[in-house]
Structure 1
C-alpha cells in the first residue's frame, strides 16, 4: 500500500489551564447571585426539582414538587423549548407521603432513538399542569446540579446510540435546562471477533466523516497500514494483520489501532460510550494462540487501556523460540 501523509492529533489541553481559575470564580459568583437573589423570589411560584439526572446518556429523569398554589392537577407534561420549537413529554402526577403534589418524568432524547427530537443547543424545561379546562405553566427550579457518584459505574456522558451529549444545566435564575451538543469525533469499537484463524474489529465513526479511510497498527518503532471494509453508513471492519505483527525480540509488542483518512485526522479506536470506570477490567478479552498463515503461532490478546483505547498485545509462543 502506498505510504500516505500522517498528521499527529492536535493537543487542545495547553490553552485551557489559565482559563480555569476565571471560570471557577465566575461560577461561584453566579451561584451566589442565583441562590441569594433569584431563588428566594421564585420559590413559591415554581416547581422545585428534588431529583434531576441523565444517567444513561439520553434519558432525563425528573422528580419535582409542585408549589401549594398549583393544587393537585389532573395531568402534567414536561415541555422542552428552544426558540419557537416546543416538544411536550408525558409526566405523572401523584401525591407524596405528606400530601404534597409530585411529578415524575423520564424523557428520552433524540429522534434517532425514538425520543424527543432535540437538536444542539440549550433547551428550557417547563412544567405544564392541567386541571379540568385550565392549564398553567411553571418553571422547574434546579437548586443543586447532579453530583457524580462513586462505584464501578458512572453516569453516561453521551448517548450510547448516537454519541450525542446531553447534560442538565441551570439558567442564572435557577431554571433547569438541557444542554445538548453533537457527538465528539471518535471511532467506537462495536465488536472484536477473536478466533483461531485471526482477529477482526468492527467499528463506527461518530461526530465526523471518514474520507477514504484506512487503519494503522502502531507499535514501538513500527507502523502497518491496513485497508478497511465498509459495513454500512459510518461502520467498518478491519482484519488485524497478525502476519506482520510478531515481536522482533522476546518481549511482547503492544499495538495501538488508529483510523486515518485523506484529510489527515487520525483517531484511535476504542470504547468511549459506556458507563464503567475501568474498561480494562470490565471489557477484558481472553488471550488466544493464533497461527497466521505462513507464520509461527502467536499469543494474541486484545484489550482496552484505562482510557478505553483498543490495544492488541502479541507474544511469541515459547516453543516457537
Structure 2
C-alpha cells in the first residue's frame, strides 16, 4: 500500500524540528563549555549576573555579584559599548546579607527616550568599579539567558516609544550583551475615537515611511478607499466611513483596516507595542448604536483581534418587537 503523502503542515513541522535540532545541540555544547571551561577560568575576573532582563522594551535591569577579589568598591557604573563608542550609567554597589558585594543597575536604551544611543547591532555590557583613584573593569557573566514568564502580561518585545527591539544575549564565553534591531514596519494605533457620531482612528508609522498614504477598509467581498489626514510626521487620522459600511443582512460584517501608499506598501492597523497576551480582552472597547447619514441605525464595535489587528464590526440594529 502506498503511504499517504504528508500534508504541508506536517512537512513544515518536520523541517522546523530538523532546524531546531542543530541549534539546540549547539546551545547545549556552549553551556557545557561555559560551565566547565570558561566559568572556572573567568571566576575571579568577572561579575556574575543573577538577573538580567528588559521588561518594558527599553530598560535593562541588572543584578550582579562581584568576585571576592573586587572587595566592596566605593563606586560602580555600567559601560555599554561597541568599538570606541561608550555609554555609561551609574550603578549601586552594596553589601549583601552574606557579606558579598552586589551591584544593581538600570540602563535606558534609545537616544529618543534620553538613554543610550544604541542603534542596531550588538553592544557589550561591562562593569567599571572604582575606589579612590583606582579603577578596574569586569565583564558581566550571564550563565542563563532570561526565561519568558507566564501570566496575563509578558516582557515587552519592543520599545513602546520607538518600536526598536532590544534583548539580552551573551557571547560564546558568556559575556552579557545587548542586541538591538530596528522597528518592524507597522502602523500602530494610538487612539480610537468612538462617539455616537462615528469612529475615527489615529495611527503612527514605525520603521517605514508612507508616500501619499490612504486607508482601505476590507470586508468579505467589499473594499472601500478612504483618505487620511496628516497629524504630524508619520502620524495620521482616518475617519471610518460608516455610511458606506452598512451590514448586508442579519449577519455582522467585520472590517479590517489597511494603510496603503503609492510605493505599493500595505500594512494592517493594529496595536503591537504592548505587554498583554490577550489584546482582544484587555483592550476591549464598547459598542455603540450609530446612525450614519442616510442609513438605518447599526451597532458598531471596534475591537482588536488576538493578533492585535484593529477590526470594526458592524451589525444591523435588531428590530423592536
Is this a same-fold pair by TM over 0.5?
A: yes
* Deviation for aligned residue 1:318: 1.5
Q: Structure 1 stretches (4+) deviating beyond 6 angstroms?
A: none
Give the match's secondary structure for 1:33: helix
* Deviation for aligned residue 1:32: 2.4
What are the within-5 Å matches in structure 2 for residues 48-67 of structure 1?
48-67=48-67
Find the counterpart in structure 2 of residue 181 from structure 1: 181
In structure 2, C-alpha distance between the alignment counterparts of 1:19 and 1:260, rounded to whole Å: 35
Going from structure 1 to structure 2, the CA distance change for 1:246 and 1:320 (only over 3 Å counts) comes to farther
Find the counterpart in structure 2 of residue 157 from structure 1: 157
In structure 2, C-alpha distance between the alignment counterparts of 1:256 and 1:52, rounded to whole Å: 39
In structure 1, C-alpha distance between the alignment counterparts of 2:119 and 2:135, rounded to whole Å: 27
TM-score, length-normalised on structure 1?
0.93
In structure 1, C-alpha distance between the alignment counterparts of 2:102 and 2:35, rounded to whole Å: 23
In structure 2, C-alpha distance between the alignment counterparts of 1:36 and 1:186, rounded to whole Å: 44
* Deviation for aligned residue 1:236: 0.4
CA contact (8 A) 1:126 1:139 kept: yes
In structure 2, C-alpha distance between the alignment counterparts of 1:40 and 1:79, rounded to whole Å: 24
Find the counterpart in structure 2 of residue 8 from structure 1: none
In structure 1, C-alpha distance between the alignment counterparts of 2:129 and 2:269, rounded to whole Å: 47
* Deviation for aligned residue 1:27: 2.5
Name the Cα RMSD after superposition.
1.6
Unmatched runs of 5 consecutive residues or more in structure 1: 1-13
* Deviation for aligned residue 1:320: 8.6
Give the match's secondary structure for 1:163: coil
In structure 2, C-alpha distance between the alignment counterparts of 1:36 and 1:94, rounded to whole Å: 29
Find the counterpart in structure 2 of residue 296 from structure 1: 296
In structure 1, C-alpha distance between the alignment counterparts of 2:211 and 2:320, rounded to whole Å: 41
Find the counterpart in structure 1 of residue 105 from structure 2: 105
CA contact (8 A) 1:54 1:156 kept: yes
In structure 2, C-alpha distance between the alignment counterparts of 1:295 and 1:31, rounded to whole Å: 66
TM-score, length-normalised on structure 2?
0.93
CA contact (8 A) 1:56 1:159 kept: yes
Q: Paired residues, what number?
A: 308
Give the match's secondary structure for 2:61: strand
